Structure formats: C-alpha cells, structure tokens
Chains A and B, each alone.
Chain A
C-alpha cells in the first residue's frame, strides 16, 4: 500500500516537472509555427489554401476571371452548406463578372483588392487579411474567400448561413404565462433574441473563441454600468484560462469556470429562455452564450434563483407568493420525505400519531426488509424509471410507465415486498422533485444522503445532515457572491423576491449582492391607484 503511494507520488512529481518543461518550450514552438502569409501569385496562394483544407469534399473552389478584358483571374473558396449560395451568386460573382466589364479601368494595381472591397461587393461584412490561418478559420466559419491574382491579401466575405432549428418553445422551462420563444443552437439567433429584449446601447456582447480544435464562439453579454466590472474581468479571465481542445456545449464551460467543482450544488445558473436571461442581465448579472447550445449560463447564481421562475414576475404577486412557498416545501419534501419516514418508523415511533401508527404498523407487517433498505430500493427504482423515461424513444414510453406504475407500485405492495406507505412516500418525493428543476440533480443525491443518515442515526442524523448542508451552502460563493444571499448575509429588502414575490412596484432596488453597482431599478411611488378626488375636480 505504502509502496503504491510512494510510486504514485513520484509519478505525480514527474508529471508536474514535465508540464513545467513544456511550458518553457512553448514559446519556441510558437516561433516555428509562424503563420505563412499570402504571396502575390494566385496559384501559389490557392495551393497554400488547398494544402490546408483542399481535401474536403465540401470545399468549393471557383476560379474565374473578370475585368473588361477578363485578364484578372481570381478564385472564390467557400464551404458549401455553410454559405448562402444566393449571396455568392448575386452579390459576389455577378458584380465581379458582369458589372466589372463596364468599368474602364485597366490592369489591377496592388491596392485593387481594396477597390473591389469598397466598390464592387454588395455584401455587408467584408474584411481583409493576409494571414493564412485567419483566412482558413474564417472560411471554416462560413465566410467566402476571394483571392485575386497579384494581390497578397484576401477578402473574407461573410456569407455564413446554414440550416438551424427555428426559435421554438423551450422544452425544459415551461411557463403558463410569458414569451414562448427559447434560445436555439445558433449563437447569432441567441444574441438577437437578447438584443430584442434589451434595446439599449449599454448591452455589451463580447466574443471570444474557446477550444483549440472546435474554436467555439462564446459570447459574454452584460449591461455596461450595471454589471460589476470586476465580475466581467473575472469571467473573462476564467474563460481565457480554459485551454481545452473542445467546447461542445455550455455545460463544458460551466464545469471549467465554476467556483465549487466538488459541491453537488451548481454555482452557475443556466436558462433556455431569452426573457429570463434578459431579466438576470438587467439585475446586474452576466450571461455566457455558447455557440451550439440553447443553454445560456448566467453568473453569479444564488440558491434562491432555483426557486424562481420567469412567469413568477408576469403573474400577480399573491398566488405567486403562495406557489413560491409551495416550491420550497416541495424541495424539502423531495430531499427529506423518505428520510423522515425511515427515521419515524425505525427510531421515533412515539412521534407518530397513534391512529397513523396503527395503519403504518399494519402495512409494515410482513414486509421483509428494514425501512432503510425499502427506502433506498424504491429510491433507486424511481431513479431508474426516471432515467429510462428520459432516454427511451417516444413510442415505447407507455411500456415503461405501465411497468413502473403497475408492476413496481401496485404489485410490489400486493406481493408484500414493500409497505404501501413507503410507495406513497416515494411517489410524493418523486413528484415533488420535479417542482424545482434547477435543483433536481442536487436533490437526488441529498435524498440518498439523508436516507442513509436517517437509517443509521434517525432524526438526529437528519438534523446533523441539515446542519452540514447549511454549513456547506453558507460556504459557497458564486463569483464572489454568497450563495445563500439574501438570506445569509441577510438583506431584508431583497427578501421581497425570495420566499414571497412582492408586487413589481415595490421592488425598487436590484438584489444588493449582485446589482450593487447601480442599485436603483425604478422610481418610488409606482403603486397604481385611481386619481385622487381633488385631482379630478381640478380638471
């Protein structure tokens, strides 16, 4: 054992030494890979680019010549499928091949490419570069590359357009009242959706590329003057520190930038709805949009955000406040109900009302397993059913629900394998766990954690677990913001949007721990009321 540990530590030391050495070598490697620049000759340039991406079947290289005497040869390089052929045909090829004949200029000069850019192309976004890497990257993102003979620069014409899912109602966050649109996999669509919500010049969307191989575009959206600049700086630092080869979904980013990677609680929130992302940005948070993912990350995250829902703010406050409390109750049930049942039936039978004890004892009679095993078993069965429900193809869905509900619920009780009260408790827990979708993951783990504690230590164990949980939650920070705020540290005015939801006109300030940079959200005295009698008379 000891021997193994020594070997392991030696190995680790070697690894870290290697890493150090590699870091030292890195600059020299970069020097060797200095990007090649374009030359004057079209043929050389074409060969250069072909050498990088030429083997791909979707690369289209269109060679043509233009100008009056058709003496200027040029090439278009683009990826079919990622570009819009209409733009290429109508706005690039047509002006160059037909309209250039009308121009009276003779042979193109060295700065001709600039002339083409400014006068010939009727496309919005056109840039110029001589760097071969940059050109290839841009081509891979959907630009069309125009190479002209005798020019050492190429034009990158933005023609990106590909098939993507239309803006749809999000599957994960259903609302009764509120906008139905959700983010899509297309980054541009997503930023557009955000811009449409916040038409303000201060809404800043900054872009960086992450992933050496995937070169995924990642945008940071925030409102300048509202978001804490230090927060933005920290987000950028953490994003730039991600040195990985691929970012396929925003979940990758979440795991690379979160504060407490060992905690079961997520410290980065995500949403699929532009309106809730916009609301969070307007409270002073920053959003991270990732190309290829409809899930937008919002930072920082508070625990109470899990219990908030975008249509809370669209409906009137009274019922919403009631539902908020139901959510907290449901979360408590989802993590504590099986544990409480186990604790009551194995340790604290004296706490059960006598009449209830009768029926519980009668149901438990002849059940072969201890309550702890029952609770764990049923918990696992439920998780299996749930996972099966997520993964299974739609047409076989009914089979699982029949097997789950009938065989496992009904038959297990009739066969005397499980007591009926336990089935009720597990079913209640299962339903309650879906009330707070943001904490379903943590709830599943906590449920088992508490059941085990209750099985060994009873109510005392549950209490220990709760205290431990509270200590852990209080220790969490999300980008410097206490995870439990506004409860700890207590901010009384922010409790207006916690267990209850105060009327909108009463929520004058932004959450103190997040929007402190510009606290005031709206004017005082916005409470609607009919005009005073004196006012109407004077009119």
Chain B
C-alpha cells in the first residue's frame, strides 16, 4: 500500500500543485489565430476616434499560392493577396483592438507584428495614448518597427509589395535594407519610447510614403519625422538624417559622393566603418558639445580619369570627405536647432556627465539648445580602392 501511494499519489500531488504556478497561458491551435503582421493607426476622418488597420495573413491563401500548386491557380490567388486589411475604430487602443472580434472570425494575434505605422494627422496630434497599450500588453513586442506615414497609414498597408506576399513583411524587409545607405533611421518601439521618456531628447521615426499612381504604386522610405514630446513637429531630409546618424553612431554603410580633387568628375566613397563619440563640457554654466567622428572607407566609383591612389590624391580625397561629412552633420544640427528638438540626445549626455550642473540648466534646455555650441571633428580615412588602382581608362598622353 505504501508503495502505491509513493508511485501514484505523490506525482499527482506534484502535478496538481504545479498547475497553480503556470501564470498566464492559453491553449490556442494555429488555425484559430488571426496573425497580425502590421498595424496602422490613424485618426478617424470625421471624429476624434482612433482608426486602426490590422493586416492579418490569410493562411489558406498562403497555402494555395505555395509553389507546389504553381500555374495559373497559384498566380491568381497571389494577385488576390494572402492578407486582409481590416479596419475598426474606437475610443481607445485596447477597446478598438478587442473590437476587432466583431469583424474577424479569429482573435488577433500580435507577437509576430512587424510594423506599427502612425498616420500623419495622428502623429501631429500626439501618439502617447496609443503607445501605452503597445507597451503594457503581453502579446505585443517591443522590437516592432515604428514608422510614420506621409499621409494615412491605411494607404501604406494597402500597397502591395512586389517581392513579398505580405506588404508588412515587405516594409520590414525594406527597413532592414536601409543600413546599406544609412540615410533613414530604423527605430523600434522600445528605442522610440526610451527617447520619448527622456525629458530632453526628441523622438524620431522614419517616414514612409506611397509613390506612383493608381495600379503602379510602391512604397519608399525617406527622411525622418521629428517629434517634440509625442507630437510630430517636423521632418529631416535624407542628408540631414545621415548627419543625425553620424552623430548618434548609427552609420552602418553608405555612399559619400564628392567632387574629384582635379574637379573633372565625381568620386563615390563607400563607408566601411564609422564611429562617433560625443563629449560634453560645462564651462561657466554654459554647456559645450564636441562630436568626434571617425570614418574609414573605400573608393567605390570614380568618373574622372586621374589615378586617385597616390598618397597626395588620397589625402585630398580624405580632406573632401571630411568636409562632406561635416556638412551633413551641420545641416542636421541646424535643422534640429531650427525645430528646437534635441534629436541627438545632447541633454541626456550633459545630464549623465554633469549631474549637478544639469540641475541648473535643465529647465532652460529649450532656450539653450538652439544656441548650443557644438564642435565637430571628423577624421575620415581612405583605406582601399577596390579591385582597381588606376581607373580603367586610356593612359593620358604626355
């Protein structure tokens, strides 16, 4: 009898006890999930309500357009799209999202959501109320990409991707490829919110827009939306964005176009490696910022015929590149000052470095920032010239 208790009853007790510690869990089979791949949040046209567009994948369509079927059947179903953009409006994020159950047969499932797009008008009005749900709910992810639409976010989500089955996946892949140019900021929800919660630093997000007309539309990302607190106040163009990225050490790769030293054509230099460091000082209650940028790159392309591999030519190119980088940073700086938005996070750096002095100036930061003195030091290097030394051109006659 004692053995029986040990074998059967003890494991039973253990299993029953552990059932209480499972926390939040729920059993759902895959076919009952409406997998959300993208979310667009807009202000409703006529009222003050929120209008949310959710892009749900149609799993059955995914199956029929699999390569196994092929042929005309596969083609036609892929033109219909393996997704469904469903809209709902409501007073708050949570009630609107729950409200989707009135329209969809499956419960929306957010962990695989790739992007959140805010409509222009909503972004101008302020997006703080939308962010709370996205952070608080356990199904939504903090790594989701954030974008601002040039107009309405629902328009963006309805543009078909030419390469991917799901537009949201296309947008997320598009953002992944931005590192090749470093002219667009790629920002995720957690990074956005970190900036939002800082007293001084301004939030930023890339801008996405619809290009082309009627049937032949495509998406493009260009420029950066600048937020003051949670409201959209302005935009930065591509050059200004790269200037910003130089400062915040987010440059991955990219091309710098400069005039060739002999002024006969242009040279494209590829950025291979870039690092920046921001140092600060407070002298006599006046803050100073110093930005050190170190860059290394290759010659990627040249349209002039002169050989650029001689030490003199390299030095001249480096000099020109220095200036080009400095110009980009300065343009970003002047735009930020114009908007009075500390997109670089100078305020936070001063706060960390000089906590005592910061207390004196923090309330006046909005007045100090537009007149902040910033020193920019750029040290650009040219390392290699690709597979060629001299350009592939006939030798110049003596």
A460 to B21, CA, bound (A): 9
A4 CB within 8 Å of chain B: no
For A460, give its contact among B11, B22, B30, B31 (CB under 8 Å): B22
A347 CB within 8 Å of chain B: yes
* Contact between chains at B111 and A349 (CB < 8 Å): yes
Instruction: Name B14's closest neighbour in chain A (CB-CB).
Output: A468
Give the residues in chain A near B33, CB-CB below 8 Å. Answer: 349, 361
Instruction: Name B114's closest neighbour in chain A (CB-CB).
Output: A354
Give the residues in chain A near B62, CB-CB below 8 Å. Answer: 358-359, 361-362, 365
* Contact between chains at B22 and A362 (CB < 8 Å): no
* Contact between chains at A362 and B25 (CB < 8 Å): no
Give the residues in chain B near A347, CB-CB below 8 Å. Answer: 25-28
B66 CB within 8 Å of chain A: yes
A359 to B65, CA, bound (A): 11
The contact size tier of chain A is 20 to 34
Secondary structure type dominating chain A contacts: helix
* Contact between chains at A370 and B18 (CB < 8 Å): no
* Contact between chains at B27 and A362 (CB < 8 Å): no
For A349, give its contact among B18, B22, B30 (CB under 8 Å): B30
* Contact between chains at A350 and B112 (CB < 8 Å): yes
Give the residues in chain B near A468, CB-CB below 8 Å. Answer: 11, 14
Instruction: Name A370's closest neighbour in chain B (CB-CB).
Output: B29
* Contact between chains at B111 and A350 (CB < 8 Å): yes
A360 CB within 8 Å of chain B: yes
A365 to B114, CA, bound (A): 22
* Contact between chains at A371 and B63 (CB < 8 Å): no
Instruction: Name B139's closest neighbour in chain A (CB-CB).
Output: A350
CB distance from B352 to the nearest CB of A (A): 35
CB distance from B76 to the nearest CB of A (A): 17
Instruction: Name B6's closest neighbour in chain A (CB-CB).
Output: A262
CB distance from B174 to the nearest CB of A (A): 15
* Contact between chains at B22 and A367 (CB < 8 Å): no
A357 CB within 8 Å of chain B: yes
Chain A CB within 10 Å — which of B33, B63, B169 has the most? Answer: B63
For B22, give its contact among A354, A371, A457 (CB under 8 Å): A457
Say whether, besides A358-B57, A362-B63, A365-B59, A345 and B30 are in contact (CB < 8 Å): yes
* Contact between chains at A365 and B31 (CB < 8 Å): yes
CB distance from A197 to the nearest CB of B (A): 41
Instruction: Name A353's closest neighbour in chain B (CB-CB).
Output: B112
A366 to B59, CA, bound (A): 10
Instruction: Name A352's closest neighbour in chain B (CB-CB).
Output: B112
Give the residues in chain B near A182, CB-CB below 8 Å. Answer: none
B109 CB within 8 Å of chain A: yes
A140 to B18, CA, bound (A): 60
Give the residues in chain A near B3, CB-CB below 8 Å. Answer: 262
* Contact between chains at A364 and B60 (CB < 8 Å): no
* Contact between chains at B59 and A361 (CB < 8 Å): yes
A359 to B28, CA, bound (A): 17
Say whether, besides A262-B7, A354-B112, A354-B114, A361 and B18 are in contact (CB < 8 Å): no
A464 CB within 8 Å of chain B: yes
CB distance from B105 to the nearest CB of A (A): 13
A347 to B139, CA, bound (A): 12
* Contact between chains at A357 and B63 (CB < 8 Å): no
CB distance from A455 to the nearest CB of B (A): 8
B289-312 interface (Cβ within 8 A of A): none
For A361, give its contact among B25, B27, B57 (CB under 8 Å): B57
CB distance from B64 to the nearest CB of A (A): 9
Instruction: Name B112's closest neighbour in chain A (CB-CB).
Output: A354
A361 to B32, CA, bound (A): 10
Say whether, besides A347-B25, A361-B31, A468-B14, A366 and B60 are in contact (CB < 8 Å): yes
Give the residues in chain B near A460, CB-CB below 8 Å. Answer: 22, 25
CB distance from B168 to the nearest CB of A (A): 10
* Contact between chains at A360 and B57 (CB < 8 Å): no
A168 to B263, CA, bound (A): 88
B147 CB within 8 Å of chain A: no
Give the residues in chain A near B30, CB-CB below 8 Å. Answer: 345-346, 349, 360-361, 364-365, 371
Chain B CB within 10 Å — which of A362, A364, A456, A460 has the most? Answer: A362
B35 CB within 8 Å of chain A: yes
Instruction: Name B1's closest neighbour in chain A (CB-CB).
Output: A9
A300 CB within 8 Å of chain B: no
Give the residues in chain A near B139, CB-CB below 8 Å. Answer: 350
Give the residues in chain B near A357, CB-CB below 8 Å. Answer: 35, 112
Give the residues in chain B near A358, CB-CB below 8 Å. Answer: 57, 59, 62
A427 CB within 8 Å of chain B: no
Give the residues in chain A near B114, CB-CB below 8 Å. Answer: 354
Give the residues in chain B near A464, CB-CB below 8 Å. Answer: 15, 18
* Interchain residue pairs with CB less than 8 A apart (7): A360-B30, A365-B60, A366-B60, A371-B29, A371-B30, A464-B18, A468-B14
* A positions within 8 Å CB-CB of B: 262, 345-347, 349-350, 354, 357-367, 370-371, 456-458, 460, 464, 468
5 shortest A-B CB distances, which residue pairs? Answer: A350-B111, A362-B63, A362-B62, A364-B30, A361-B59
Task: A262-B7, A357-B35, A361-B30 given; name 18 further pairs at CB < 8 Å.
Answer: A346-B29, A346-B30, A347-B28, A349-B33, A349-B109, A349-B112, A354-B112, A359-B62, A361-B31, A361-B35, A361-B57, A361-B59, A365-B31, A365-B60, A371-B29, A371-B30, A460-B22, A468-B14
